[in-house]
Amino acid sequence: MSNSIETVGIIGSGTMGNGIAQACASNGIRVVLVDIQQAAIDKGLATIASSLDRLIKKEKITAADKAQTLSRIHGSTQFEDLKGAQLVIEAATENEALKIKILQQLDGLLPADVIVATNTSSISITKLAAATQRADRFVGMHFFNPVPMMALVEIIRGLQTSDATHDAVKALAERLGKTPITVKNAPGFVVNRILVPMRRHRRRHETRHQPAHRPAGPGRHDRAGRVPRGDERLHGRIQRQQVPPGAAAEGNGGRRLAGPQEWARRVHLLIPGAVHCCRPAASESGLRLVFLRRPPNSLANLMAIDPTL
């Protein structure tokens, strides 16, 4: 199997589908964007054009760059137009039955050497692969929204995903300027597996400790019980805090911290702008959640220290 991917097919022209299409086309890769209705394709292409216009205003790209990017994207309502792709990414609605139906249709249409990937954020890759006859050429590629801006891509191997398939999609992610991490096929993969208990802990902490008369602000619930959206975004930026063995943490009452191995397992989540949200506190699940203002840079350290995540 060749690692060279020059044409990518994408199923679904919604938020994730058109974002992946833009990321690919902006980096010189031809894209076939497929949806069941032409109106959906037109909307997806309009979203891409609008996104590129914003980059032009910020002087990140030129009008010529926009024209070249759009010229690499071909919209279609026919699955048959995907036959020339080396990789097809399923980015349909997060519905298991729908995804299986699409994957089975693709499996009977595409040549045997074509890699099929799914952008699912939670469904088992092994289970989806079992619906096809190409389990060794099936893999999870979990992009984050907004795709053109977010660097992190989770690459999830199913039980039978081959090394060649993994290497090919990893090389593609790097070509797109992304930071790919290989994760286990576990519920929630890595980011969502951490995000759910983090949100639960934060809400419980704020409910217990926020005075009833205190007005809502960033990182706090408002009076309707909602969480401001800005602090709800994880932005794919998660890493463990670099703390030497036995060091004392500022703002942690001067207590001595565990060594880096145990500290990594408690999983520190770094979210800009949420420094005032809560103080370090151990949750019932054993995770220790800390919110800091400075942004993180990578998830690689966490995976290297604790590959069981």
Structure tokens belonging to residue 211: 């005075």
Report the predicted TM-score, pTM, of the whole model to 2 decimal places.
0.68
Residue spans of the domains in the chain: they are 7-183, 190-309
Rounded Cα distance, 264 and 262, in Å = 5
* Counts of helices then strands in the chain (DSSP H, E): 10, 10
Active site residues: 142
In the predicted model, is pLDDT for residue 2 greater than 60?
no
**pLDDT digit string (tens) for 156-213?**
999 999 999 999 999 999 999 999 999 888 877 888 777 767 777 777 766 765 555 5
Mean pLDDT score, 213-239 = 41
Q: Tokens 């208990």 sit at which residue?
A: 197
Q: For the chain, how big is the Rg over CA atoms in Å? A: 21
The residues, ordered by sequence, that sit 6+ positions from 84 with a Cβ below 8 Å of its Cβ are 7, 32
Lowest mean pLDDT among 83-97, 194-208, 258-272: 258-272
Residue 268: Cβ-neighbour burial (10 angstroms; 0-12, 13-18, 19+): buried
What is residue 205's predicted lDDT score, i.e. its pLDDT?
A: 67
In the predicted model, is pLDDT for residue 290 greater than 60?
no
Lowest mean pLDDT among 54-58, 64-68, 209-213, 284-288: 284-288
CB atoms within 10 A of CB 160: 15
Residue 142 — pLDDT band, cuts 50, 70, 90? very high
Q: Which CATH number fits domain 7-183: 3.40.50.300, 3.40.630.30, 3.40.50.720, 3.30.420.40?
A: 3.40.50.720
pLDDT averaged over the chain? 75
